[in-house]
Amino acid sequence: MSEESVEANVVVHVCTTCRAEGEALEPRELRSGARLYQALKQSRSAEDPVVVAVECLSVCRRPCTISFSAEGSWTYVYGDFPADADPGAILDAARLYARSPQGLIPWKQRPEALKKGVVARVPPLRSSTEFAS
Amino acid sequence: MSEESVEANVVVHVCTTCRAEGEALEPRELRSGARLYQALKQSRSAEDPVVVAVECLSVCRRPCTISFSAEGSWTYVYGDFPADADPGAILDAARLYARSPQGLIPWKQRPEALKKGVVARVPPLRSSTEFAS
């Protein structure tokens, strides 16, 4: 598999409904989540993981929320990102996820924001079904 | 697709590391999560979704935690289940998830525990990639 395809396999979902505490409901495009999404879209290059807006990741209490997922990898959900979180650092983390077997970034390599911000993780379907048999 | 295959496509992951507040670390098989997992394993019939133990779903603050996932469906993570939660009700919900397009159970049909206990959800990879293009 080429390096490009490893990273293209990863999707970074960004909840565009997330609001910081006290933030106005409208206009929706100024919500923290929507702004973080725009920053990520603008920062990514063609070889980077795909960045996709989602209406709601159902976390709500820990804005802004994002997730990393890829075929055959653990899905990770992370919260507590401010709207002005460094998009480059998030994309670096997504590339690290893309290159880690099953998306499991070794603890020592894991950026601080991912250590503290983890909301949940779910194993890949394929390995879990094997595990069940 | 037969009804059996729709349900066999779903995996219910159960975090066996989850402990209720104040619960002893050892023996591990008496932790709330491990007991909920055993109850689900014993309750499921051959046609039910697969039930798989996971060492950690990284939720920790909302024991016990479970997840529903299936190819092409949203992944849902739910918390706040006591060790003696009704395993039949959880399996009913997993069947409902299996039969709902993309795993999206209509709000009115959603069991109360799933409404209150949602920790996070992540879109299926396939639809999100389509959405991104």
* Tens-digit pLDDT profile for residues B61-113: 999 999 999 999 999 999 999 999 999 999 999 999 999 999 999 999 999 88
What interface predicted TM-score (ipTM) does this complex get? 0.90
Residue A84: φ, ψ to 5°: -100, 25
Answer yes or no: do A11 and B131 touch at CB < 8 A. no
Answer yes or no: do B11 and A67 touch at CB < 8 A. no
Query: Does A120 contact B at CB distance below 8 Å?
Result: yes
At A132, the pLDDT band (50, 70, 90 cuts) reads very low
CA distance B18 to B60: 6
pLDDT of residue A113: 85
- Of A1-5, A94-98, A115-119, B54-58, which gets the smallest average pLDDT? A1-5
> Distance (Å) from the C-alpha of residue B122 to the closest C-alpha of chain A?
6
pLDDT of residue B28: 94
Chain A residues in contact with B118 (beta carbon < 8 A): 58
Query: Does A31 contact B at CB distance below 8 Å?
Result: no
Residue B17's H or E segment, with its range, is none
What count of CB pairs under 8 Å joins A to B? 88
CB-CB contact of B73 with B102 (8 Å): yes
* Residue tagged 């049909």 (tokens): B109
> Distance (Å) from the C-alpha of residue B130 to the closest C-alpha of chain A?
10
- Over residues B40-47, the mean pLDDT reads 94
pLDDT of residue A16: 96
More confident residue, B129 or B11: B11
| Token duo for residue A1 | 């598999």
- Over residues B121-127, the mean pLDDT reads 87
Answer yes or no: do B128 and A11 touch at CB < 8 A. yes
- Of A4-18, A59-73, A85-99, B73-87, which gets the smallest average pLDDT? A4-18
Residue B25: φ, ψ to 5°: -65, -40
At B133, the pLDDT band (50, 70, 90 cuts) reads very low
Answer yes or no: do B129 and A51 touch at CB < 8 A. no
Query: Does B95 contact A at CB distance below 8 Å?
Result: no
CA distance B60 to B69: 19
pLDDT of residue A5: 64
Residue % of chain B over a pLDDT of 90: 78
- Over residues A67-93, the mean pLDDT reads 96
* One-character DSSP codes across A6-56: HHHTEEEEEESS---TT--S-SGGGSHHHHHHHHHHHH--TTSPEEEEES-
Chain B residues in contact with A57 (beta carbon < 8 A): 120-122
Chain B residues in contact with A58 (beta carbon < 8 A): 76, 118-121
Query: Across all residues in chain A, what is the average pLDDT?
Result: 90
